[in-house]
């Protein structure tokens, strides 16, 4: 013999949860969320509000600009950030197509972004030392490599975006309109 009971409002609650789940899978909502993140990330980078480590005086001298970070001086890297639809209801923000390349270096933006996110080292070859010397930078003779610290702009932007509550507001506004 089984026991059954009914809690008042259970079916309405279940229907409401099902509706919210289906809304969160809507492509138009996720497109809007992805666009908002892209705009947020670009604004935060351009205003230097991500709390990234500052560039070194050597990098500043080489870049001839003093701004942070050097590859973003003309905005092409940030503007190449795409929004990609993956499957029904899923939109990827902060995507860099492998074919889009930095015109100055010829390197794919996706590669450049990965270097910024993780940091990297540059071997101090004779050619590298010559390049640095031509810009007034003279590493010590015993130094064998330069360490470029990570400046994870996408990670920091995603963290700040999440903390900002902007995404939650977009979802709430979208659901209120239904």
pLDDT above 90 for 31:
no
CA 87, 167, 172: angle at the middle one, nearest 5? 95
Q: Which of 9-18, 94-103, 130-139 has the lowest mean pLDDT?
A: 9-18
How far apart (Å, rounded) are the C-alpha atoms in residues 149 and 120?
Answer: 7
pLDDT one-digit tens code per residue, 138-171? 999 999 998 888 888 889 999 999 999 999 999 8
Instruction: Say what the pLDDT of residue 4 is.
Output: 56
Helix (H, G, I), strand (E, B) or coil at 127: helix
Tell me the per-residue pLDDT of 51-108, one tens digit each, with 9 for 90 and over: 877 677 777 777 664 444 445 545 677 778 888 887 776 788 888 887 888 877 788 8
pLDDT of residue 12: 75
**Residue 69, both tokens:** 């970070």
pTM above 0.75, yes or no: no
Q: What is the 3-state secondary structure (H, E, C) of 62-88?
A: HHCCCCCCHHHCCCHHHHCCEEEEEEC
What tens digit of pLDDT does each residue of 99-111 get? 888 877 788 888 8
Domain edges within the chain? 10-154+166-177
């Amino acid at each position: 013999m089984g026991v059954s009971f009914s809690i008042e409002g259970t079916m309405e609650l279940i229907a409401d949860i099902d509706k919210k789940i289906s809304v969160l899978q809507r492509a138009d909502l996720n497109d809007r969320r992805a666009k908002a993140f892209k705009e947020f990330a670009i604004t935060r980078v351009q205003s230097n509000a991500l709390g990234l480590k500052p560039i070194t005086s050597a990098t500043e001298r080489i870049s001839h600009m003093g701004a942070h970070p050097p590859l973003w001086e003309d905005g092409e890297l940030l503007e190449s950030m795409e929004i990609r639809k993956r499957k029904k209801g899923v939109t990827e923000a902060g995507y860099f197509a492998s074919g889009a390349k930095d015109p100055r270096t010829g390197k794919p933006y996706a590669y450049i972004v990965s270097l910024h996110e993780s940091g990297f080292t540059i071997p101090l070859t004779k050619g590298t030392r010559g390049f640095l010397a031509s810009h007034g930078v003279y590493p010590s003779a015993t130094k064998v490599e330069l360490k470029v610290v990570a400046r994870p702009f996408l990670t920091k932007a995603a963290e700040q975006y999440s903390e900002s509550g902007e995404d939650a507001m977009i979802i709430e506004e979208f659901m209120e309109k239904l």
